[in-house]
């Protein structure tokens, strides 16, 4: 439709009531990471007063940015999520951009074993798309999205993992916003819950949400989970956190979530001996407890 010299797109104009009718139901999608699902909630009115209700996972059909520097647990989170969803009977499309599919499958097998899940019961519910071994998939977003659309139709997937989204625009960051926006809109159109791993630039402050491509990922997607790590290097840090000098303190923080409420504290993040992520108490509680112990 045109109005004089201006073009009007009426398909983009809704009343709020019309938009609500098209919105998906809000419920939690379990991540498989102990302690993480408890950090999301919704709010309802009960006798005129707001009340928090646990969501039990990330919001259904949300597209989440998981970001951090290397060795903070990003890929572990992606693998635990894929295995958990597959174990519940929900197929997952896993686009691997950094490591070839056979190596990713080895990690998934290890994650399943650590989670007490029989690999044979979930292996056909995880569909690997090997962009690490295909430069065409990495460099041509149209081919990648067409391939993903095939996987969604063929295997009826409910979730998509991309590890990593920044691998799709490395050395061409001018295209970052366009690529991330296209992936985001695609996942929304196809009704997928998304976990997109993004790699931090070394120039970014470690606990900030920015990742490669500047604000391309965190500003477009529905929410960001920031993973961080710090090597304890002073006596003050050792006393404050209760961690020996030279050991690593890992943390996790939800840095915004459009579709639901969320915990805003920075929590301790543990990588267990079996290679699983586990979310611990808020860092502030640990510092407080250490102070009380020292009197």
Q: Which CATH class is domain 25-294?
A: alpha beta
Residue 4 has a pLDDT of 63
User: Which structure tokens are listed for 224?
Assistant: 């960001």
Peptide bond into 164 cis (omega under 30): yes
- In this predicted structure, what is the pLDDT of residue 112? 98
CB atoms within 10 A of CB 225: 25
Other CB atoms closer than 10 Å to residue 176's CB: what's the count?
Answer: 23
Which residues are paired to 278 by β-bridges?
34, 270
| Pairwise CA distance, residues 78 & 132, whole Å | 16
Q: Is 8 helix (H, G, I), strand (E, B) or coil?
A: coil
Per-residue pLDDT of 18-41, as tens digits, reads 888 888 888 999 999 999 999 999
**Are the C-beta atoms of 124 and 105 separated by less than 8 Å?**
no
Supply the pLDDT for residue 206: 58
Q: What is the DSSP string of 108-146?
A: HHHHHHHTT--GGGTGGGEEEEE-SS-HHHHH-HHHHHH
pLDDT value for 260: 95
Tokens of 269: 């993040």
- All residue ranges of the chain with pLDDT < 50 are 212
Tokens of 83: 């295995």
Contacts of 44 (CB under 8 A, 6+ apart): 50, 51, 53
List pLDDT tens digits, range 141-177. Answer: 999 999 999 999 999 999 999 998 999 998 787 888 8
Which tokens hold the place of 246? 């030279």
Dihedrals φ, ψ of 210, to 5°?
Answer: -65, 145
pLDDT of residue 66: 95
Round to whole Å and give the CA distance between 38 and 28.
Answer: 10
Beta strands in the chain (DSSP E): 2-3, 6-7, 28-29, 40-46, 49-54, 58-59, 63-68, 92-96, 126-130, 159-163, 193-199, 223-231, 248-257, 261-262, 267-271, 277-282
Among left, alpha and beta (phi > 0; psi -120 to 50; other), residue 242 is left
Tokens of 243: 């961690």
pLDDT digits (tens, 9 = 90+) for 165-174: 999 998 787 8
Determine the pLDDT at residue 25: 87
pLDDT at 193: 98
């Amino acid at each position: 439709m045109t109005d004089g010299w201006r073009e009007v797109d009426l398909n983009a104009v809704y009343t709020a009531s019309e938009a609500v009718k098209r919105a998906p139901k809000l419920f939690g999608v379990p991540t498989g990471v102990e302690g993480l699902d408890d950090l999301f909630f919704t709010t309802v009115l009960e006798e005129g007063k707001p009340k928090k209700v646990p969501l039990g996972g990330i919001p259904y059909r949300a597209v989440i940015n998981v970001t951090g520097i290397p060795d903070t647990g990003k890929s572990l989170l992606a693998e635990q999520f894929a295995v958990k969803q597959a174990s519940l009977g929900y197929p997952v499309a896993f686009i691997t951009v950094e490591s070839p599919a056979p190596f990713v499958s080895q990690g998934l097998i290890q994650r399943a074993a650590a989670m007490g899940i029989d690999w044979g019961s979930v292996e056909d519910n995880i569909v690997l798309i090997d962009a690490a071994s295909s430069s065409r998939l990495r460099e041509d977003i149209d081919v990648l999205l067409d391939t993903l659309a095939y996987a969604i139709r063929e295997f009826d997937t409910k979730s998509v993992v991309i590890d990593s989204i920044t691998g799709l625009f490395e050395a061409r960051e001018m295209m970052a916003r366009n690529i991330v926006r296209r992936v985001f809109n695609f996942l929304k159109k196809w009704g997928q819950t998304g976990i997109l791993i993004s790699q931090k630039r070394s120039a970014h402050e470690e606990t900030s949400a920015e990742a490669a491509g500047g604000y391309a990922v965190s500003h477009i997607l529905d929410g960001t989970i920031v993973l961080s790590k710090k090597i304890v290097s002073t006596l003050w840090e050792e006393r404050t956190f209760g961690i020996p000098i030279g050991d690593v303190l890992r943390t996790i923080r939800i840095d915004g979530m459009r579709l639901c409420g969320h915990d805003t504290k920075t929590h301790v993040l543990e990588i267990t001996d079996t290679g699983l992520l586990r979310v611990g108490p808020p860092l502030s509680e640990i510092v407080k407890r250490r102070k009380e112990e020292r009197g």
